[in-house]
Structure 1
Amino acid sequence: MVNFYSAVWSFLLLSSSVWGYANPGACSGTCVNTHDPSIIRRSDGTYFRFSTGGKIAVHTAPDITGPWTYKGAALPSGSSINLGGNQDLWAPEVALIGNTYYLYYSVSTFGVQDSAIGVATSSSLDVGTWTDLGSTGIRSSSGKAYNAIDPNLINVNGAYYLTFGSFWKDIHQVSMKSPPKTVASDSTAYQVAYDSVKTDEEGAFIFKHGNYYYLFYSKGQCCGYDSNKPAAGGEYKIMVCRSTSATGGFVDASGKACTNSGGTVVLESHGNLYGPGGQGVYDDPTHGPILYYHYVNTNIGYADGQKQFGWNTIDFSSGWPVV
């Protein structure tokens, strides 16, 4: 009988580890100041982390684990886009196109649809080398079917697409010119994800693995947990849909369309990790594909300024990302 109970307990422990979420990977150095992180690795092996606030805060490290060191602001003069919020830039996205790095960013204010997506360029990623080019031509205002924030660029065989959007009809996409400084002249924004019940999807990131393009996005309340904590389950979580095309047809693990309230949970609150989101995916040379994001450590505090940098390796063996 003792052996029976021991076997049951071992099974329960194993089940917990299989069906639960892994804790975030190691992080040392400056692991805060990391809202909406964007990670890129330079050819010399230096990791750069760009994040919301501080006119796009820049941190570097020799490894994804750190130690992360603050280097300064990517755009110390703010954005040339003449909109409210042009000194408090959001949701950076960094990509290497040829020999040039592109930094996309959002100009907006919280809860307002009057927003724009800008872009800057650099040859090295270093602080002090970024040139602001201003607007990409993606702009929203009251009454439009989208909000122009949270940009993400994907290159599909030399064709460039920018995916973006938030709580106004959720996530959209446009074609970009080559090089991708502005919207293609014949492109109109089209929807790639939408929850008709509760429009609270944003922060899109498209990552190709195998034969599929995976659309990762954040769902729920992002911020203000210290003053306005949502009901359980209403906080940020990371979702995914997939498609064989980067431009649409995304469905969740049950086959439900991402444009019809579909979506499969990748990572949500567990243990002392709360409200993970603002995510991206990077194919790390050491760890393989990793999901990176910000989160609240409930043992530290719920304030936006206390959000931590998190990352986990991703297992795609089932055809769906598991952390």
Structure 2
Amino acid sequence: MALYKTIGAFLLFLGTVSGYANPGACSGTCVNTHDPSIIRRSDGTYFRFSTGGKIAVHTAPDITGPWTYKGAALPAGSSIDLGGNQDLWAPEVALVGNTYYLYYSVSKFGVQDSAIGVATSSSLDVGTWKDLGSTGIRSSSGKPYNAIDPNLINADGTYYITFGSFWKDIHQVAMKNPPKAVASGSSAVQVAFDPVKTDEEGAFVFKHGSYYYLFFSKGKCCGYDTSRPAAGEEYKILVCRSTSATGGYKDKSGKACTNGGGTVVLESHGNVYGPGGQGVYDDPVHGPVSIRSRKTIWLIMLIIFALQILYYHYVNTKIGFADGQKQFGWNTINFSSGWPVV
């Protein structure tokens, strides 16, 4: 155990002295990938779902690419009767049993009249998604949240969707099983909030070891080509953790996530500007690996500390700042210190 702690400290030291790593390799279509959601099918095919184009779907043989556009997940848009039902946002894809679930947002930018919908498929392929309409998560003027940016977590057999953007930031609600609709009697509970700057969104809950980690994006996300925020006010990825999926999240300093807490995981660096819209994934190729497939001591260290993939969108300052130029980014992250380090 002492050796493990020493190796973990050394890896953390390397990350600290070298700063943030550049995004991993990406080939094929790596642009216009706002709010990506990544999942790998049992045949090894990677699927990437993203905002716009009625949920754009790309596939690749590896997370590095080459990514190929396959079409829209919901070519007819959403059946939810709200403005924006032809311009769907922030997809979240998860496998529940033998069925894939696609959660999406119906909204307009800066508007609180929003809803979270769901569609299902047995294969992930374009042309197979059946829209089921609203999950029952809906917001309007006067609500303490905005019903966008859904993320599904299964916590000891109970499903929860964590969601929200601005207003009073990030909330969570219990779902039925299977998770097609809000559980009877369940109401949304706030899990993250900054009382000074209510600019948190894009929640993603990931369990590692005995902790649930609440990743979220904070700052200005968009429109950098016409109005860039003050340095440090652009999008960045933060995290809090808790032993419960449903609350009590605190950052590394012990500050509550419901009182402005949040430890930075990834922010602007080098040519990377405004990373966010993130998710975390146990990737069998670039994350946790089989000891039989690697023979060097360095990769054995990685096995011990089970690296995961952090994926996100970002602006490459050498390419352009427009929303349509957002790039797909990914890095391995290390939890050996108890906190995710890129």
TM-score by length of 2: 0.89
Are the counterparts in 2 of residues 119 and 133 from structure 1 also a CA contact under 8 Å?
yes
Deviation per CA, 1:39-89: give whole Å up to 9, x if none. 000000000000000000000000110000000000000000010100000
Structure 1 match to 2:104: 105
Matched, 1:138 2:137: yes
Aligned to 1:114: 113
Structure 1 counterpart of 2:296: none
RMSD between aligned alpha carbons?
Answer: 1.1
Q: Is residue 300 of structure 2 the alignment partner of residue 301 of structure 1?
A: no
**For residues 286 and 251 of structure 2, what CA distance do their matches in structure 1 show?**
26
Any gaps of 5 or more consecutive residues in structure 1?
A: 1-13
**Which residue matches 1:77?**
76
Q: Alpha-carbon deviations, 1:194-247, whole Å to 9, x = none? A: 000000000000000111100000000010000111111111000000000101
Which of the residues 311, 318, 321 maps onto 1:292? Answer: 311
* One-letter amino acid matched to 1:290: I
- 3-state DSSP of counterpart to 2:38: strand
Alignment of 1:243-282 (within 5 A): 243-282=242-281
TM-score between both structures, scaled by the size of structure 1: 0.95
Residue identity matched to 1:322: V
Q: 1:290 to 1:130 in 2, by over 3 A?
A: same
Contact 1:161 1:175 in 2 (8 A): yes
Question: Whole-Å Cα distance in 2 between the matches of residues 15 and 65 of structure 1?
Answer: 24
Distance in 2 between residues matched to 1:317 and 1:181, nearest whole Å: 35
Structure 2 CA distance for aligned equivalents of residues 282 and 67 of structure 1 = 19
- Matched position secondary structure for 1:291: strand
Contact 2:15/2:341 (<8 A) preserved: no
What is residue 195 of structure 2 aligned with on the other side? 196
Quick one: distance in 2 between partners of 1:30 and 1:102? 24
Q: Equivalent residue of 1:166, what SS?
A: coil
Q: In structure 1, what is the Cα distance between the partners aligned to 2:15 and 2:160?
A: 39
Aligned ranges 1:1-323 → 2 under 5 Å: 18-288=17-287, 289-323=308-342
Q: Secondary structure at the match of 2:255?
A: coil
Distance in 2 separating the partners of 1:238 and 1:74: 27
Match of 1:8 in 2: none
> How far, CA to CA, are the matches of 2:106 and 2:195 in structure 1?
26
Aligned equivalents of 1:157, 1:260: Cα separation in 2: 27
Give the SS at the match of 1:22: coil
Larger strand percent: 1
SS in 2 for 1:284: coil
**Structure 2: gaps of 5 or more residues:** 1-12, 288-307
Q: CA deviation at 1:157?
A: 2.3
**Is 2:38–2:47's contact at 8 Å kept on the other side of the alignment?**
yes
For residue 156 of structure 1, report the CA deviation from its aligned partner: 1.4
CA contact (8 A) 2:104 2:149 kept: yes
Question: What is the number of residues matched between the two proteins?
Answer: 310
Residue 17 of structure 1, CA deviation = 6.4
- 1:33, 1:57 within 8 Å by CA — same for their partners in 2? no
Instruction: Verify the 8 A CA contact 2:163 2:201 in the aligned structure 1.
Output: yes
Q: CA deviation at 1:18?
A: 2.1
**1:16 Cα offset (Å):** 8.6
Alpha-carbon separation, structure 1, partners of 2:96 and 2:156: 12
In structure 2, C-alpha distance between the alignment counterparts of 1:80 and 1:88, rounded to whole Å: 12
